[in-house]
Structure 1
Amino acid sequence: MRAVDLIQAKRDGAELSEAEIRFLIDGYVSGAIPDYQMSAWAMAVYFRGMTAAETAALTLAMAESGDTVDLSAVRGVKVDKHSTGGVGDTTTLVLAPLVASAGVPVAKMSGRGLGHTGGTIDKLEAIPGFRVELTQDAFTAQVNALGVAVISQSGNITPADKLLYGLRDVTATVESIPLIASSIMSKKIAAGADAIVLDVKTGGGAFMKTIDDSIALARAMVAIGAEVGRRTVAVISGMDQPLGNSIGNALEVREALSVLRGEPGVSPDLIEVCLALGAHMLVLGGAADSYDAARAELREKLASGEALRKFAAFVSAQGGDSAVADEPSRLPAAARVVPVPAPRAGYVGAIRAEDLGTAAMWLGAGRATKEATIDLAVGIRMLKRIGDRVEAGEPLAELHVGDATGEAALAEVVRKASDAYAVQDAPPAKPPLIYAVVTQDGVERLA
């Protein structure tokens, strides 16, 4: 086999075999196939696309290019959850203990963030003492004993995906649905899940801006799951405003605790998405016969406090200060809080989620580069959401600011956060939250 022949075949619209795709991936990881040839192949895929069989073969080749996690020693059906990214997306911190409290084991590997806020691992590290690294034996034993463990990804999980993504980023081939789908699913498959629930974000604050593109991506990932023997469900959820009211690591842990504690003032959108994703996880995990029954079960676990108790036990098992479950004030707190005033009276008509995320990153809540250090205490707490009435000068949000942010930089963050809000005279129509559910049987449009 020669790489040039496979590039030409894909350029001309041919379907590559599993052996040919594995030859490309193995050769690229080993260095036998250079960047320029892999770039040409990626561009051919960008224009010609891939069949479901090709995309599944690419996914498996990337999943098997490095370490894979064997969860066979974990009892029960292991259901993983993945979000395609967004702002104020705190779902894992709620779902891991909530789903575990309902009897479905959560053995999850998560990553750190590069962008507006940290990833799930950064957020968990805001809990004093929390350990994000466990041996495989300790990981398995904790899930069997407690039902939940969340650890950082191995450095050698899907090295082919890391190499290919870096290449796509500089060759204008990121926006290829087969390449996006295989990138996401390769990591989930390498992490050992039996079934997968995907939260595919759509809208202004999401990678996929339109509902049609989001559904296309969801269908591609569900098809991969079917091809490789993993039951997969995708929920298309809106990201036209941040999901929760908090953007930032310790702030998002506080909000997750507010959900688990049943406190008022928590974003109903965050609760609804958690219930929707969690219900599908319970059905796939065999703990509920129907979606409606699963939702009812999750609501009961929240109301009874069982999910909160599971969170405390999970934190304690990984060395963290479990007292945060009852005393969120034990989490890191910023040096000061600065309001973002409304420019005039009216109604919040739109919120540019990406701009709020960028403002949080400027405060130090996220990493602009891999080497950047996160301030776990800083971020933004939203006080107004789309549709809310606001008076002139009333705070739209509050900035949680660290000592490292000077006055000039703070003024820029206030401006960025203020500009993210659009205030209008009439109440707007609120955007949908859940647009569709995609399964192997097809697409159910809900909005």
Structure 2
Amino acid sequence: MVASKKRQLKETLLAYLFLLPSLIVLGIFVFWPVGFSFVLSFFKWDFRNMKTPYFNGLANYKQIFEFNYPPKYSFFEGFVYSLGYVALTLLIVITIYSFITFLRKGNKLLFLNLFAIVFYFSIFSFLNSITSLIIAVILWALLIFNFYEKGQMKYFKSHIWINMALILVIYVLIETGMAGDKSFFAFFIDAKDKNLFFKALSNTFYYVFLSVPITLILSLGVAVLLNSNIRFKIFFRTAYFIPFVTSVVAVSLVWKWIFNDEFGLLNYILSWFNVAPIRWLKDEKWTIPTIAIVSIWKQLGYNSIIFLAGLQNIDKFYYEAAEVDGANSWHKFSKITWPLLSPTTFFLLIVSIIGAFKVFAQIYVLYDGLPGPYNNSGLTMVYYVFDLFYRQQRMGIASAAAYLLFAIILIFTAIQFKVGSKVVEYVS
């Protein structure tokens, strides 16, 4: 027993000795800067206090959220109203499933839900923030009661992705149809033009939600094609993967020429279809889509190769069994390929979202070091941190902004792991 413990201790020490060079490099270039920047976020350290930084607590974090001039609506009021809209949205979705249950075996809560919806819509114009909060609590109580109703959750959980899409669509309809200025999003839209942090945050979210789903969908399609019996598969795999290993600066410079509104290749191709020239790099509304196009083109090859590896790990036995049962191509994809690709999709989703939140180089190159053509239309979180640190030399506030970005990414990753643990199917 003693000899076994000594051998185990020796092997452990030997392993750490092999890891020591890597740990030293990581400590100098990763762990130390991360820890130092966290401490720095609580100090007043800028151009004026370069030699004598002093501790100022949470002042840097508070300063980030300060407005240039007051917003039209308060954060609290918008947040409370949004709680009511979220509760109403989920109540509508649950009511739909209550109706399905009612048609099958009857559900007395259907009429209670319908009454709550009609009641909320009828008194909406008379609500203030306090009454909205009270009604939101009542709606949440109805939801919790419904969630525990026998047989109710079975229909909801069996089509979780369809339900999430349904919730999103209904919420957007409520926001655009009812909310007006009484919502958190209305507050956010009003605030983003009065605070650069909110502007950077909104642009970053817009970029993430635009680029990540499109990249994953296109990558999956390319991977399925490359996994089929087509000619020149090696050539196509190489062609799709080359942009990923190419420098992002070189890629952005090429696309800067392609996006030229007068002589660019993209507008020339669009002219074949009688599409008027688009001012890709000069129009504010095209700033984030332009950056997304470059990122999608660059990331497509990597995601396709990962998806292709996942496809090739699926045992052919499943497809042969499905063919015996008479399954068509769509059945095989929806019932075999997509579920068994969930671990690969889960990995790519996490990596893609983290990478998308860190977008910077494309903006810097496409717009010659500026955050978009005008009105900070290309200002993202990383560019915001870069501008604070490098140009304004406000190192303390820049460190605080970097940790806010870290917190946002951490929250998104935690949510994905929580959801992924329930929907991802691992096959041993």
Tell whether the structures are fold-level matches, with TM greater than 0.5. no
Structure having the larger proportion of residues in helix:
2
**Category of TM-score, reference length = shorter chain:** under 0.3
Scaled by the length of structure 2, what TM-score is found?
0.26
Structure having the larger proportion of residues in strand:
1
Scaled by the length of structure 1, what TM-score is found?
0.26
Larger radius of gyration: 2
